[in-house]
A and B are shown apart, each in its own frame.
Chain A
Amino acid sequence: MSIVPVPSPDWLLKLALAAAKQLSDLAPQIKAQLEGNLIPLDFAVFGYRGTGKTTFLNFMRFGIPTEPPPTPSMEELDPFQIYVVGRRPVKVAGIYDVSGEEWKVHKKSTELTWPLWEEIFLRQTPRGIIFMVDHESLKQSKAALRYVINMIKRSDPPMTFWQRLFGGRQRQIARKNLKVFMLLVNKLDQWEKRSLTKGKILADYAEEIQDLHALITKNGGKYYQDEISAKDGTNCERAIQNFVLGLLAVSSR
């Protein structure tokens, strides 16, 4: 009769540690598998008024060009699906359609703010941001983009221990969560008459783009830019695919 040797506690501990490591490695993989299926993707679409945020969101949701009226405030959209090449349709939820109107801090103030965007950024903590610009209203669009950059960079106000414990550090969480930023230059259909190109338009945003690139790279994310016409749908599908694939790639890392 053979006697089974009793495994030493060291051996057991090593086995337990290896199993725990395996589990922690598996968790992101499982999460990546579920991403877009059970765990919906989320992102925010910002941009100055009239740059085509709602038109682009409508194209994402319905797949057809539309001409919506101006968005008066903010509204959470119903969940929808996006068909991604080579994958199952991904579920998108928690998206807000928000107005791009600036909000003056005081009546006589020249400082422009977009508090609704900040509210969405902190409430939704989106994984991606699409920022829309066009060839019109350069000054305001630049101010809006700068506002978004500062909004991402800004740190939390000093907090007590209990505030930190219960839902504090919201800005830090939002910043950490942001992995993909896409700058979309809209109204491509109007450029031919004015002999404009994406390069010419974005030349005015060089400083902001540089800051954004540094910010997103530091966060371990991806920065994209593209040209579209949300009104007639040109390049919209390409931009959507790139953005969603970027979100999925960064999420599964």
Chain B
Amino acid sequence: MDSFPFVIISAKAGRGYGVDDVSAGISEHQLFAIQQSWAPGGQGWSRLIGAQFVRTIVLPNNSLGWIQLEVTPEHDEFGRRGLLLSKTSVIPSTLVSKFAEDYLATTPSSVRKISQRYMPRVLAQFFLGQLGLSWRMFWKRQTIITAPFSPTDDWSLVNAIIIRLFLSLPEFLRASILFSTLCLSPKNAGLLIGIPSEHLGAKADINLAKIKLE
């Protein structure tokens, strides 16, 4: 999977966010689109240090950005913490399932097993949520998976659940479904999103399908 063009963006003290590396094969338009939307929305990343997650974005030329992110323990020259490190792979939209399967395969087997246990409930909740509002288009309705974030956790369980949920959708739909396994604001985050329950409070009145993990 490393054969696909990629962009690495990170923040460094004295420089801020910037592109560390761009491989050949990425157009200027794609680079700009990545710069615009690589980071999920919301504030408060400093409380999620250590979290690793993945998201997808739409890019020009019928391609998708498969973004693997990490909240690093670094801080900038102003002492601001919660800096993100990202690697965006530019892939054809048809290959997103393959990337998702590979990503799921890299998660620890114990996490995969636990995530499998949650799936019947998650799927039921997801489809009930989709049917709940007939006036909304299917792909406009977001499903939020929420769980408390603990510093010892790297959010891998929620990652695995969202990837499993994504892979259980019909294949012809997958290329058009975006997801963010971790974000702090549901805006522009895609259809399937993970939000730590500490950050969900203000959004509780929004009509979304919420799934709580014990």
Contacts and interface: CB of A to CB of B under 8 A. Distances in A.
Interface of A: 49-50, 54, 58, 67-70, 72-76, 78, 99-101, 103, 115-116, 119
Contact of A101 (B17, B41, B185, B187): B17
A72 B38 contact: yes
Interface in B148-184: none
B80 A67 contact: yes
Nearest to A74: B36
Nearest to B79: A67
B11 interface: yes
B36 A119 contact: yes
A49 B82 contact: no
14 contacts: A49-B17, A50-B16, A58-B43, A69-B44, A69-B82, A70-B11, A70-B16, A72-B17, A72-B84, A73-B35, A73-B36, A75-B42, A78-B187, A115-B32
Interface string B1-27: 000000001010001111000000000
Given A50-B76, A101-B16, A73 B81 contact: no
Instruction: Report, nearest first, the 6 A-B pairs whose CB atoms are least far apart.
Output: A69-B82, A72-B39, A75-B41, A73-B39, A49-B16, A101-B16
Contact of A75 (B16, B17, B46, B187): B187
Contact of B35 (A69, A78, A116): A116
A76 B78 CA distance: 24
B188 interface: yes
Contacts of B41: 75
Contacts, number: 63
A73 B42 CA distance: 11
Most buried by B among A49, A54, A115, A119: A49
Interface string B76-96: 111011111000000000000
Nearest to A52: B78
B17 A70 contact: yes
B63 interface: no
A116 B46 contact: no
Interface of B: 9, 11, 15-18, 32, 35-39, 41-46, 76-78, 80-84, 185, 187-188
A33 B197 CA distance: 41
Contacts of A69: 43-46, 80-83
Most chain A beta carbons < 10 A, residue from B9, B17, B38, B187: B17
Given A70-B80, A73-B36, A101 B43 contact: no
Nearest to A72: B39
Contacts of A119: 36
Given A69-B81, A73-B39, A76-B187, 20 more contacts: A50-B76, A50-B77, A67-B80, A68-B80, A69-B46, A69-B80, A70-B11, A70-B17, A70-B78, A72-B38, A72-B39, A73-B17, A73-B35, A73-B36, A73-B37, A73-B38, A74-B37, A75-B39, A75-B188, A101-B18
Contact of A115 (B15, B35, B37): B35
A98 to B, nearest CB: 10
B142 to A, nearest CB: 15
B149 to A, nearest CB: 15
Contacts of B38: 72-73
A75 B117 CA distance: 35
Contacts of B39: 72-73, 75
Among A58, A69, A76, max chain B CB count under 10 A is at A69
B36 A116 contact: yes
B31 to A, nearest CB: 9
Nearest to B22: A107
B35 A103 contact: yes
A115 B31 CA distance: 11
B7 to A, nearest CB: 13
A107 to B, nearest CB: 8
A58 B185 CA distance: 15
Contacts of B42: 75
